[in-house]
Structure 1
């Protein structure tokens, strides 16, 4: 029964976090809502797919231009995972620059129009992903395993940071945020940690000691982003929303990739 629930939660997470047609239904969604550990777990499945452009560039017998990787990586990422989380970045960018109290910021979150703050936030995230993809391919050239390890680590750590918000946060209003946070609590963090932990030995297998250092750096960086997002959401919005969760995933992924590249180059 436990295994069946875990499989359903994983299938629900894949359907929620990507555009992969897994045929998830209402039962899978309900199982996913009760198991935030499914978020980092799905990173192990999505990570290798997301890494394909970077791995191809790192393993290519000829040097692939950095600009090519910079375009291919975020474009491919959007094809695999969709743009739902990026929409959260746009909404939070608009809410971050508006003047007023939490109610005013929450009203801006619900506004479908894109403002200057949202446009700037999306641009920064896309540029961050593009430069991160190029940096991974350049720093880990000729090591397809190392490149894959770092991208997988970033995907797992980003979704682990989001899962931590689900466990610790409370929603300020009804919506996706409340649908997820209402089913979990701090005790669920243990399951999230167990789901994230295998990223370190996996990185050691694929990328050696440099891969381990890069993965640890990615995990720490994503965790910091998660903590900052949690603190900002509580102070400025009164709680965690679906937009906060989506934006945390995007920001944590980009930050984790850059931190991992820096750690790798120090080896």
Structure 2
């Protein structure tokens, strides 16, 4: 198997629960081509979007929103959510930089991690539910059927989540050796821009300017995680990369919802541009 194909396969093994297997050779090939995180996000986003289209047709809005969240974590696994939990423990730990890093790396779960995860899941449900409401009010955008808007929004959010991971890897400084440091050390500006171009094009093709807004918001959310990581830990690790995935997905969905609110409120030129 060529290095590229091995990297693609490993991307699904690393970033999802799809049983394709992971080897150290595959991880080496993947981190050499870390822009493939975004490619993996595109495929995962399409799968999430397809599932969303089905449950939206079958179930009431609130139930379908909850089922979408279940499917997101069924497909992508809980590793990134676990990263958010560790991140929460580290950020809420009191004391020196060393104590915060120790809490970040600690395998046990503290109240800070529980709080961060609970708040994150509540906000994810609220953002999907609010997005459903705004889509119902908006109708069609750029001739896209109404039923496609939520699946495409989730596609953009998943792409943004993976670009968020690249953002941490490209601009962060590793604080210790591990799987996270492998990604950080191999992700340079060129790989970051390759992912940025790939993700930006697919996001715009999916939802036009609204897709671009969601994609950019995901990156800004990741930079927010990077800023917090630098202040609390003096750098980043794999847990911070996982946190960026969760926060970037969330900020993307919130930004898309706000863009639809702008359309529905008829905010002058902004409304015309988004339509």
Tell me the TM-score normalised to structure 1 length.
0.88
- State how far apart, in whole Å, the 2-side matches of 1:121 and 1:200 are: 28
Partner of residue 165, structure 2:
162
Gaps spanning 5+ residues in structure 1: where?
204-210
* Per-residue CA distance 1:175-221 (angstroms, 9 max, x = gap): 12212112222332221222212223421xxxxxxx22321221121
- Picking from 52, 56, 72, the partner of 1:77 is 72
Is the alpha carbon distance of 1:189 and 1:154 closer, same or farther for their aligned partners in structure 2, counting shifts above 3 Å? same
1:238 deviates by 1.8
Partner of residue 142, structure 2:
none
- State how far apart, in whole Å, the 2-side matches of 1:25 and 1:177 are: 16
- Report the more deviating stretch, 171-180 or 243-252: 171-180
* Per-residue CA distance 1:25-66 (angstroms, 9 max, x = gap): 3332111111121111111100022224432344x2x7x433
- State how far apart, in whole Å, the 2-side matches of 1:96 and 1:122 are: 13
Partner of residue 230, structure 1:
226
- State how far apart, in whole Å, the 1-side matches of 2:46 and 2:187 are: 28
Gaps spanning 5+ residues in structure 2: where?
137-144, 264-275
Tell me the TM-score normalised to structure 2 length.
0.85
Partner of residue 60, structure 2:
65
Does 1:22 pair with 2:25? no
- State how far apart, in whole Å, the 2-side matches of 1:118 and 1:163 are: 23
- State how far apart, in whole Å, the 2-side matches of 1:185 and 1:179 are: 12
- Picking from 150, 154, 157, the partner of 2:153 is 150
Partner of residue 207, structure 1:
none
- Picking from 8, 11, 14, the partner of 1:10 is 8
Is the alpha carbon distance of 1:114 and 1:196 closer, same or farther for their aligned partners in structure 2, counting shifts above 3 Å? same
- Report the more deviating stretch, 40-49 or 67-76: 67-76
- State how far apart, in whole Å, the 1-side matches of 2:260 and 2:95 are: 43
CA contact (8 A) 1:166 1:180 kept: yes
Does 1:192 pair with 2:195? yes
- State how far apart, in whole Å, the 2-side matches of 1:161 and 1:8 are: 23
- State how far apart, in whole Å, the 2-side matches of 1:184 and 1:136 are: 33
State the aligned residue count.
Answer: 255
CA contact (8 A) 1:50 1:76 kept: yes
1:234 deviates by 1.9
- State how far apart, in whole Å, the 2-side matches of 1:125 and 1:262 are: 18
* Per-residue CA distance 1:90-122 (angstroms, 9 max, x = gap): 111111111122211110012222222111100
* Per-residue CA distance 1:119-139 (angstroms, 9 max, x = gap): 110001111221222233333
1:167 deviates by 1.5
